[in-house]
Amino acid sequence: MSAVYESDAQRTPIASGRERYLCHTPNLMMVVVDFNDGPTAQPDPPHSHPHEQVTYVAEGEVLFFIDQVGYKLKVGDMIAVPANVPHTVQLLTQRVRLVDTFNPIRADFLK
Amino acid sequence: MSAVYESDAQRTPIASGRERYLCHTPNLMMVVVDFNDGPTAQPDPPHSHPHEQVTYVAEGEVLFFIDQVGYKLKVGDMIAVPANVPHTVQLLTQRVRLVDTFNPIRADFLK
């Protein structure tokens, strides 16, 4: 199936108040991540992965940290995360939607 | 620069009422495409490219055609376009924002 409709997407809980749904080709994965637990008092613990990542902010505002440098992002902004570089977010609004994209695909998200 | 802010992004006109701005890593490109010329009476001419594509609908509604099969998409929906498969859109609302992502990057968009 080519299209993934939000109305009937398979949503995966990832933490309290957070869930995702996704769509991918063989080498490109797009993941909509909905946060409903903000604002948060501090950033999440940083993480890294060998996948390159580009993120679009579709709702809300965040502080997006790449290697400890913070970028304040709001709807319409994008950010590029190189492979293997630690990154994380701090939510500045209650609701946030990030559209994370990855190459290669996050096979760990398909389990 | 890691972040691309909508407020000061370099926008590229692509047609009357249509423009884009983008952000990328070496192998992954995200392109925000703003259409302000809808609704359109018929689909644009189909096109194809060797790049895999996944698109997120950030604003408005479209009919997204892949190989002549139409999918009606609205905000929050995604669609996957395999490499080399003809695809196009027909706008159903005046304003539409698509977040197109590609692997490999669209080098033609960096000229």
CATH code, B53: 2.60.120.10
- Best probe of the A interface among B1, B4, B21, B85, by most A CBs < 10 A, is B4
Q: How far apart are CA B67 and CA A34, in angstroms?
A: 31
Please state the ipTM of this predicted complex. Answer: 0.97
B2 in any annotated domain: no
What would the mean pLDDT of A63-91 be, rounded to a whole number? 97
Q: Give A24-47 pLDDT, tens digit per residue.
A: 999 999 999 999 999 999 999 999
Question: Does residue B53 belong to any structural domain of this protein?
Answer: yes
Say if B3 falls within a structural domain.
no
Q: What is the nearest CA distance from A20 to chain B, expressed in angstroms?
A: 12
Rounded CA separation A67/A82 (Å): 10
Question: Which residue do the tokens 């929050």 mark?
Answer: B76
Interchain CB distance below 8 Å, B25 and A101: no
Q: Is B8 on the interface with A (CB under 8 A)?
A: no
**Backbone phi, psi, residue B6, to 5°:** -55, -35
- For residue A20, which residues of chain B lie inside 8 Å, CB to CB? none
Domain that holds residue A29: 11-110
Specify if B1 maps to a domain: no
Structure tokens at B68: 């002549």
> pTM (2 decimals)?
0.98
Sequence-separated (6 or more) residues with CB below 8 Å from residue A88: A43, A44, A45, A46, A47, A64, A65
Task: Say if A83 falls within a structural domain.
Answer: yes
Number of structural domains found in chain A: 1
